[in-house]
Structure 1
Amino acid sequence: MHNAQPWKFRFFHSRSTFRVCSDLDRAMPRADPTTRALHLGCAAALFNLRVAAAHAGWEPETELLPDPADPQLLATVRLASPATPESDLAPLYPAIHRRHTSRYPFTDEVIPQAIKDALSAAALLEGVRLIFPDAWHVQSLLDLVHDAEGRDAMDPAASEELRHWTRVGADVADTARDGIPDYAFGPRKRDGKAPVRDFAGRHPVAGRDATTFENAPQLALLGTASDRPREWLQAGQAMERVLLQATLDGLSTSLTSHALEWPELRWAVRDPQSAMGFVQMVLRLGYGPSGPATPRRPVHEVLDIE
């Protein structure tokens, strides 16, 4: 969430093993009190590590939650025998550098069913379901997002937490190492129904235009049967696999967690006719600008080597 980058890596050279840990100093108590979203973000970074390892020629043997006494230790990744030529991870590597969240309008071009099926299959490789809801369900989702936006606007704690992770003004945005800089806000929504979080809120941003977004956004639901830390980690890896595959397929993407941040709304997001028990993320996909890159923390802040 909000480009907080709440992860830490430690590499043990003698064992060729990474430890992936959460950084609770970067948690968001109001929007993410259970740290579910934090787990998803860390798991996305974990998946990128797996992809990078495969690209470098290693087989990444991954164990989730290896120590019950240390809940901040989310996973270990051992660089094992050389990766097989048939690895399904290495081909995703170029997309890591190309994938960005796009808060721009998408066209009305319909995503081909073959691409949707491939994205759903990508999620299944991580043990997670990805479904594309029908029109009635999309409208219900949009209503829930609108409800969540109204709740956020009336919640001082939510507004303060959002401000903490935004970087407004060239002097701040250009030197940021985390958070959402104003150049990544995208245009203000003048019209349309696309669920895009407006990080500027009611505050004007110099040079920011307003435009019309799509009225029929193409959304997908990523979900699991259960709702525990292990499933969150599986969902985060599936989320990143889907986003990387979508990037290779020429799609632009963004995420919306508005309605998932309110427990009573999150339950209503799911399709009661689906086997998906818990929605972990709502994805918006389509054809349009890919969006600008957002800043990353320097390597020495997130990686220790022993």
Structure 2
Amino acid sequence: MSILTERQAVEAALDAARWAPSVHNTQPWSFAVKGDEIALRADVDRQLRVEDVPGRELLISCGAALYTMRTALRCAGFEPVVRVLPDPDRPSLVATVRPGAPAEPDELTLLMGGEIERRRTHRAAFTDLTVPERLLDALALGAMGEGARLAVVGEPTAVEVIAALTRAAQGVQAQDRRFTLEVIRWARPPAASRSDGVPAGAYPRTAPRTDPFFPQRDYAWRHDWGTEPDRSATSAGVVAVLTTARDGREDWITAGQALQRVLLHASAHDVSAAFHTQALEMHHLREFLRHELLSGEFPQMIMRLGITFEEKESVRRPLSDLLG
């Protein structure tokens, strides 16, 4: 028995999609609605021209929006009907999605649907509270269900290698003025009226060092922006890498859907994620990671999972800006 009408379900899916995670909160998507079908399009004007030349992070972000719409439709009582990259002549058309047959949402779907607006990205260290192994296993199963793999890195030496690659990439990028200016472009000053980018209340002014040290993007570069983090929290948390067997545009969308499934499920258990894409933006470092630690699979996201009691703010563009 459907909870909402098809039209109401479409409206709920559109509103939910706004809250998907995206690189630097660029929100690089737009939507068009025809009847009961939503077209999800990549907004290439919001692509990071220095950091994300191939558009990989752009499509991961769009994949996260697609999974969010799927979840919202299921919560509304419909099984989503999805076509990914349906038109080769329209490369910016990521997918179409519409409500299909009525379907009763299960408990986990409803749980994840409740996290769509609540989930936040963390950009500092975590507390020493442990992420349950049972939850990590469930997150890995969820990623597998979307066609990706969530590799939890338990070996300390491997964790240190990933941290070292992140430090190396961050060190090189920090010396590149183009990278730095692109990051700063998406850092919102305090009290800014913009509805995109990373708010000053969502990143630390100076982040405490995790052990091992995973550096964050310097959104506060040459500014006194950001918040004062919890200095007692120093844990790196659980390090995990999201991978796919192949590395094409459809695989990047798959990675985005798997990522959002993991994040919503984790958030439902009060577990947050911090992202580290620096090493994945440098071809040789990404290839090293792929061949030396990931059995030839392609790394799409490096993340740390953990528990924090810090409240983060977030902003999203109004739906009226996204429809066209």
Q: Identify whether the pair has TM-score above 0.5, normalized to the shorter chain.
A: yes
- The TM-score with structure 1 as length reference comes to 0.91
Q: Write out aligned runs for 1:122-271 (5 A).
A: 122-133=142-153, 134-170=155-191, 172=192, 175-192=193-210, 193-205=213-225, 208=228, 211=231, 213-270=233-290
> What percentage of residue pairs aligned between the two structures are identical?
35
**Aligned CA-pair RMSD:** 2.0
Contact 2:205 2:224 in 1 (8 A): no
Deviation of 1:195 after TM superposition, in Å, equals 4.0
- The TM-score with structure 2 as length reference comes to 0.86
Answer yes or no: is 1:8 the counterpart of 2:26. no
Structure 2 counterpart of 1:11, which letter?
V
SS of structure 2 residue aligned to 1:157: helix
Label 1:87 to 1:229 Cα distance change in 2 as closer, same or farther (>3 A). farther
Aligned position for 1:282:
302
Q: Distance in 2 between matches of 1:109 and 1:216?
A: 11
Q: Distance in 2 between matches of 1:287 and 1:213?
A: 10
Structure 2 counterpart of 1:151, which letter?
V
Structure 2 counterpart of 1:301, which letter?
D
Answer yes or no: is 1:19 the counterpart of 2:39. yes
The range that moved more, 102-111 or 185-194, is 185-194
Label 1:198 to 1:213 Cα distance change in 2 as closer, same or farther (>3 A). farther
Structure 1, unaligned runs of 5 or more: none
Is the strand fraction higher in 1 or 2? 1
SS of structure 2 residue aligned to 1:243: helix
Label 1:296 to 1:229 Cα distance change in 2 as closer, same or farther (>3 A). same
Structure 1 counterpart of 2:171, which letter?
G
Contact 2:245 2:297 in 1 (8 A): yes
The range that moved more, 221-230 or 157-166, is 157-166
Deviation of 1:187 after TM superposition, in Å, equals 4.6
Contact 2:239 2:302 in 1 (8 A): yes
How many equivalent pairs are there?
Answer: 299
2:74 to 42, 54, 57: 54
Deviation of 1:256 after TM superposition, in Å, equals 1.4
SS of structure 1 residue aligned to 2:97: strand
SS of structure 2 residue aligned to 1:292: coil
Answer yes or no: is 1:101 the counterpart of 2:117. no
The range that moved more, 252-261 or 101-110, is 101-110
1:172-210, Cα deviation, whole Å (9 max, x unpaired)? 2xx220001211113512433244323112433376468
Contact 2:126 2:308 in 1 (8 A): yes
Structure 2, unaligned runs of 5 or more: 1-22
Contact 1:105 1:212 in 2 (8 A): no
1:103-128, Cα deviation, whole Å (9 max, x unpaired)? 23311223221111000001011010
Label 1:50 to 1:87 Cα distance change in 2 as closer, same or farther (>3 A). farther
Deviating runs (4+, > 6 A) in structure 1? Answer: none
